[in-house]
Structure 1
Amino acid sequence: MKIQVTKQAAAKFLSGYPLVQEEDIQKLPADFPKDWVEFADSSGRFIAYGYLAKQNKGIGWLLSWKEAITAAFFEGIFQEAKEARQSFSYDDNTSAYRLINGEGDGLGGLTVDRYNEFAVFSWYNETIYAYREIIVDSFREVFGEIDGAYEKIRFSGKGLPESQHLFGKEAKEPLLVTENGVTYATYLNEGLMTGIFLDQKEVRSELINGYAVGESVLNMFSYTGAFSVAAAMGGSSETTSVDLAKRSYGKTTEQFEVNQLPLESQRIVVMDVFEYFKYAKRKELTYDCIVLDPPSFARNKKKVFTVAKNYGELIEQSIDILSDKGSIIASTNAANISLGRFKKIVIEALEAKNVSYKIDKIYQLPADFKVNPQFPEGSYLKVLFLSVEK
């Protein structure tokens, strides 16, 4: 099928922009085809091959500006991605990293992560999932060292489980992976999450290398406590991990145990983060370093959290329980918030509290999370290391 796009869309697509939006299409088909489609300008001239799909952002992706989409095309994508990550494959201290970062590697709608000798495929729409056989076969041609794989279904697929075994051997539970020399317990077939967010490896590396040595660390929205473990391995005096999910207690305990870290110096609290701020202030608790890494959107019985509206509150409430000279690691994965806007949100909150501050370091996605330079929205991670003096 040939899909004609608007004049404005043709210009951005020809420059390499990969995401298709509804307003880009001159005449949207009643039903999205499950076949690859040819995108063309208003004169019918070829632009690229790609596909249409119902998904969280946009309505499809452009994949190839030259060759047809075949097994050879996918093998080429995988080979190029593998070569770009050679340094990770040679790193004995890190066994978990991203192999395919969606549109960053030319394959919008799919990510693939490596955990030791296993791979985890995440499918983001029904159309790309319909081609899983040819895609997985092409992957195995290139990544023959992968012994087994799992898949996550990140779209509304009728009758499909969130997670399932895909091919080859099955992984142990937990599967112990390493990152910068630290061990993390992961579960490859336990819902959509595995127990660690691989895009934060460089931030954890800062903590492992002593960013908070000798200091008390408060890790908010702690999930399985990966930042807390990294801080403890880097010599922090104590850590406090706070998350609303009940499972966070057992998961975080396990992360400390697999690294032989004494639990006496680690506090794990199952509580709403905003309630914990109030509790800590009431009890006059203070922390030398506070890590803020909330989901981009969250809801509980009392509150809806979005980065744009509520991140400033996190900063302001952190100041209330921060040591006189402390640090904040402010992080967001909200793709709709640019680095500039995120800095503005954080700085406005700091200035509202009348404190002195300095942005010491800024981190975005690590090298294995490859970004298409024509698609800046793909660089979703923003992390600010802040020194604060009250």
Structure 2
Amino acid sequence: MQNEIDLTLKSDFIEQIKNGYPLISKECVEDWSTITQEGSILRLIDKKKNFIAKGYYGLQNKGQSWVLSRKADEAIDTDFFKHKIKAALAYRKDFFANEQTTAFRVLNGEGDGIGGLSIDYFEGYYLFTWYSIGIYELKEMILEAFKQSVDFKGIYQKKRFDTKGRYLDDNNDFVCGKEAPRPLHVKENGAKFAIYLDDGAMVGVFLDQRDVRKAIRDKYAKDKTVLNTFSYTGAFSVFAALGGAKSTTSVDLAKRSLPKTKEQFSINNIDLEKQNIVVEDVFLYFKYAVRKKLLFDMVVVDPPSFARSKKHTFSASKDYVKLLKEVIQITNSGGIIVASTNAANFSMMTFRGFIDKAFKELKIKYKVQESYSLPKDFRVAEKFKESDYLKVVFVQRVK
């Protein structure tokens, strides 16, 4: 068991932490100078030395430290993490029983009581993502707890904790067990994805959009022409095609999006002749579409929260209205826009305000069909709603 270091909370933040808020930011603490090493276990106290909570020191963009326990006598050790992992697995027992979906999240950071760590399941393989040096310093305890709790084929990891918040690529993704096939085929609601557990920061599919993809396939895609912007490996396009779309067009700036998207179509036996894959800056493609008078029955727009190309810089909080106005102009009357963002720095209410502003500035009417946030496996802490970052709204351009 590690030594615990006392840290005094400012009085303004004590009730918030007592009531379940899991994040300790820089301004919460009287003096950080006694803490020098990430991974240190912290004993959070008030000015009278009364115990408040325990956490660990791990710097990431959200804050300085995550609360792990509110029990003074609870040790932060292998048994502690074993309890958290088993509880997380039990919460997702229905996912393990679903043969049509073999890729999902099994531990979602602070939502499951371990801020700074996520664990994803892929057809018997598990992927750990460490979001700070601090949580990585606790790796041996966490991995031992996991090994004692779970039957697995293999374990992989991603390190997302360098000083600029980018992925730390040290060619050390495989941890133990058996190495996964390349690609590893997983299922999502009966469809297939080819993923790569050891090929950079991302594996080939974003699991948090599962419910949105299903809605596109089951309710919206039939006989539609579909444009998928910022398409990555074409997951939305795959589900649109499986839902009977007349055609799909996938647009992404990354050159690797072309072979990756073709691969996803191929393993689902989708006719490539009806699928158009464009390697292009999305904003330049909008101009091309307007020039060629192209209109689509459905447009999916799911940009990164921040992106930079040679000619454009995009910030969701500043530029989403402008982006939507471009999208609206190439959407057929009566067509559907799937507006999505993973930006955590504004609410669903604010996001709906962006949508309203874009349509009003163009003097075009719209109707909201439905909206989505994170699926069940991406468990959100009750007292930390900021972590419910995903916002997706299906909007119809009214005829």
CA separation in 1, counterparts of 2:299 and 2:149? Answer: 42
Q: Name the SS of the counterpart of 2:60 in structure 1.
A: coil
CA distance in structure 2 between the aligned counterparts of 1:307 and 1:365, rounded to whole angstroms: 18
Aligned to 1:72: 79
Pick closer, same or farther for the CA change 1:258–1:159 going to 2, 3 Å: closer
Residue 387 of structure 2 aligns with an amino acid whose one-letter code is G
Does the CA contact (< 8 Å) of 1:32 and 1:53 recur in 2? no
Where do residues 1-390 of structure 1 align in structure 2 (5 Å cutoff)?
A: 1-29=5-33, 31-33=35-37, 34-66=39-71, 67-144=74-151, 146-156=152-162, 161=170, 163-390=172-399
Deviation at 1:162, TM superposition (A): 6.1
- Give the superposed CA RMSD: 1.3
CA deviations 1:267-299 (Å, max 9, x no partner) are 000000110000001011110000010000001
- 1:32 shift after superposition: 3.1
Q: CA deviation at 1:321?
A: 0.8
Q: Contact conserved, 1:218 with 1:291, CA < 8 A, in 2?
A: yes
Count of residue correspondences = 389
| Contact 2:192-2:268 within 8 A present in 1 as well | yes
Is 1:49–1:68's contact at 8 Å kept on the other side of the alignment?
no
Q: What stretches of structure 2 of length at least 5 have no aligned partner?
A: none
Q: Given that residues 153 and 163 in structure 1 are in contact (C-alpha distance below 8 angstroms), is that contact kept between their aligned partners in structure 2? A: no
Cα offset for 1:361? 0.6
* 1:389, distance to aligned residue in structure 2 (A): 1.8
User: What's the offset of the Cα at 1:30?
Assistant: 5.6
CA distance in 1, matches of 2:103, 2:158: 17
- 1-structure distance, mates of 2:364, 2:222: 23
Q: Distance in 2 between matches of 1:322 and 1:256?
A: 24
The answer as to whether partners of 1:330 and 1:386 remain within 8 angstroms in 2 is yes
Q: Using the alignment, how far apart are the partners of 2:231 and 2:43 within structure 1? A: 44
Amino acid at match of 1:194: V
> For the residues of structure 1 that align with 2:168 and 2:123, how far apart are their CA atoms?
30
Name the SS of the counterpart of 2:129 in structure 1.
Answer: strand
**Aligned 8 A contact 1:154 1:162 in 2:** no
Q: CA deviation digits over 1:196-233, x for unaligned, max 9?
A: 00000000011221412100000000000000001000
The alignment partner of 1:347 has SS state of helix
**Unaligned stretches of 5+ residues in structure 1:** none
CA distance in 2, matches of 1:134, 1:294: 37
Q: TM (normalized to structure 2)?
A: 0.95
Distance 2:262 2:295 in 1: 23
Deviation at 1:35, TM superposition (A): 2.1
**Helix, strand or coil for the counterpart of 1:290?**
strand
Q: What's the TM-score once normalised by structure 1's chain length?
A: 0.97
Percentage identity across paired residues of the two chains: 44
